[in-house]
Amino acid sequence: MFTRLTSRPFTRAFTAPRQGFVSLRGYATKRYTKDHEWISVTDGIGTFGISDFAQKALGDVVYIELPEVGKSFAKKENISAVESVKAASDIYAPVSGEVVAVNSSLGEEPSLINSSPEGEAWIAKIKLSNPAELDHLLDEAAYAKHCDE
Amino acid sequence: MIGALRNARGLATAATKWSRTSLYDFHVQNGGKMVEFAGWEMPVQYDGFGVLASHEWTRAKASLFDVSHMLQTSWVGKDRVKFIESLVVADVAALPVGSSTLSLFTNDNGGIIDDTVINKRSENGLYVVSNAGCAEKDLAHIRARLADFQNKGGDVDVKVIDDMSLVAIQGPKAVNIIGELAGSTNGLKDFKFMSGREMSLKGIPVYISRCGYTGEDGFEISVPHSEAVNLSKLILESPDAKLAGLAVRDSLRLEAGLCLYGHDLDDTVTPVEGALTWTIGQRRRTEGGFPGASKILSQIGKGAVVPRRRVGLIVMGAPAREHVEVLNPADGSVIGNITSGCPSPVLKKNVAMGYVANGFHKAGTELQVKVRGKVQKAVVTKMPFVEHQYYRG
């Protein structure tokens, strides 16, 4: 549904220049970082996690360090860590903002990150302090291209 | 997430400067993800078979590893035992024919150059296996001492075995698989842990030792290069056998409390500090005769001062890995460091090995570790973390 909306040129004519039309309409904007995090934003709250590409490269996830609710992070600040048997990988905040929720089921079931990295295994929700940052992230097509490089 | 994925991107890139074992093509055909290790292109894991699944398979059934990158040497000559004893802490003279032992090459400062398994293969020769990562260093050391020994009239020669591959089959089903290939009628009941023999596996001549690096029962098989693929295929005909790569070796050996040279042991660590005093033969403790003997022997016995000791730890919270600091809970001071650590798939706890200052090394001692700035509890724990399954008859 998201894709069909953006592919229809006439809807762009109604875009409010600053915030991006989809967040005004309340639809989720999904973006990716070059570091393989994804973020899906609805009404100023971004749910993020790591991409399917990332979980494949990591292998079996056995531990995840969740950020504290209420803590604020700058974009690209170290916000979490995901561990496989062999190594720990840092995760960076895709956008700046305050953590308003964390996915505590990941504590019990870290392997969810492998089975549902872009769905059930969301890591945390951030209240965006600067929505314009989203414009600098990759959309799905650009991210897919980035992974192929 | 940068580091892990950048390494992942590098997996597929081949470099002709690395060596390949006789099983390279076989690994690739079987979905092996090839990476560089100690100058060799080795499979880190296989497509569709994660590290956790491979780890569990090894402990329940049997895993086949290519370890041909390790250094195999043959020591011959009338004075071979005298010569090797001038380099290692083992009592090789007392080793029965057909038996093997873990030992250590030491340097003049009492530090460990490499760990090794020495097999008294026959009345005429020794078969010695040591780490791939130390091959150049070991050979340079051995050759220098050899030249000296030969100049003094010693009758010995040490040759690199370069016409044999080495594979390991590890897990409770290994004995059934090898027994079947050997046409054994007694389930290899007389083939004990840390012994070796020549065998024919479906017509393939091999030298096979009952030992390994996983804590499981299993075998390491020295097989001609030309037969390595055939042997591997024969082993994999069993539904209980699966190929396993380098990644899973680390979690298996760590659960088994086995050291990884270059991490848990290095040339600044003495055998006593490394909790490997048991490798020093009784006779060698009185006679010495290995490099660094006076320093090492001064650390054994009443009143001996051992500044640090290798211990096992179970760590709460996030896994504590190499380089993590170990702290004294009383005052937060640094009293040691982790040298290996990972989440244990069997225990579902974080296990680690490291060095702590003397006095903090007793089992049950509560310590702390600092992971990513966070202080976490740790407790000194006896190793192995997971019981060994060695076949002792």
Average pLDDT of the segment spanning A39-46: 95
Give residue A8's pLDDT band: very low, low, confident or very high (50, 70, 90). Answer: very low
A27 pLDDT above the threshold of 80: no
Contacts of A54 in chain B (CB under 8 A): 1, 5
- Which residue of chain B comes nearest to A37, CA vs CA? B1
Asked if B5 lies within 8 A of A81 by C-beta distance, the reply is no
Give residue A4's pLDDT band: very low, low, confident or very high (50, 70, 90). Answer: very low
* Res B8: pLDDT: 33
Give the one of A50, A59, A65 whose C-beta lies nearest to B50's C-beta: A59
- Name the interface residues of A facing B (CB cutoff 8 Å): 35-37, 50, 53-54, 57-60, 62-63, 65, 81-92, 114
* Res B319: pLDDT: 97
Asked if A87 lies within 8 A of B4 by C-beta distance, the reply is yes
Please give the ipTM for the structure prediction.
Answer: 0.77
> What percentage of chain A reaches a pLDDT higher than 70?
82
Cis peptide before B239 (omega within 30 of 0): no
* Res A29: pLDDT: 79
Sign of torsion over alpha carbons B178, B180, B183, B186: positive
* Res B302: pLDDT: 83
Query: Which residue, among B1, B7, B246, would best test binding to A if mutated, counting the most A CBs under 10 Å from its CB?
Result: B1
Asked if B345 lies within 8 A of A54 by C-beta distance, the reply is no
- Which residue of chain A comes nearest to B52, CA vs CA? A60
* Res B16: pLDDT: 61
Give the one of B1, B343, B372 whose C-beta lies nearest to A35's C-beta: B1
* Res B177: pLDDT: 98
Residue type for position B360:
F
Residue type for position A128:
L
Query: Which residue, among A85, A92, A108, would best test binding to B if mutated, counting the most B CBs under 10 Å from its CB?
Result: A85
* Res B184: pLDDT: 95
Give the separation between CA A33 and CA A46, rounded to whole angstroms: 13
A/B interface, count of CB pairs below 8 Å? 74
Number of helices followed by number of strands (H, E) in chain A: 7, 9
* Res A86: pLDDT: 85
Intervals of chain B under pLDDT 70:
1-16
Give the separation between CA A147 and CA A145, rounded to whole angstroms: 5
Residue type for position A124:
A
Give the one of B2, B8, B52 whose C-beta lies nearest to A35's C-beta: B2
Nearest C-alpha neighbor of B174 from the set B63, B66, B255, B256: B63
Residue B36 has φ and ψ, to the nearest 5°, of: -85, 135
- Which residue of chain A comes nearest to B2, CA vs CA? A35
* B118 within 8 A of B304, measured Cβ to Cβ: no
The bridge status of strand B308-315 relative to strand B241-243 is: unpaired
Give the one of B1, B53, B55 whose C-beta lies nearest to A90's C-beta: B1
Asked if B4 lies within 8 A of A65 by C-beta distance, the reply is no
Beta bridge partner(s), residue B125: B76
The bridge status of strand A45-50 relative to strand A124-128 is: antiparallel
Sign of torsion over alpha carbons A103, A134, A41, A18: positive
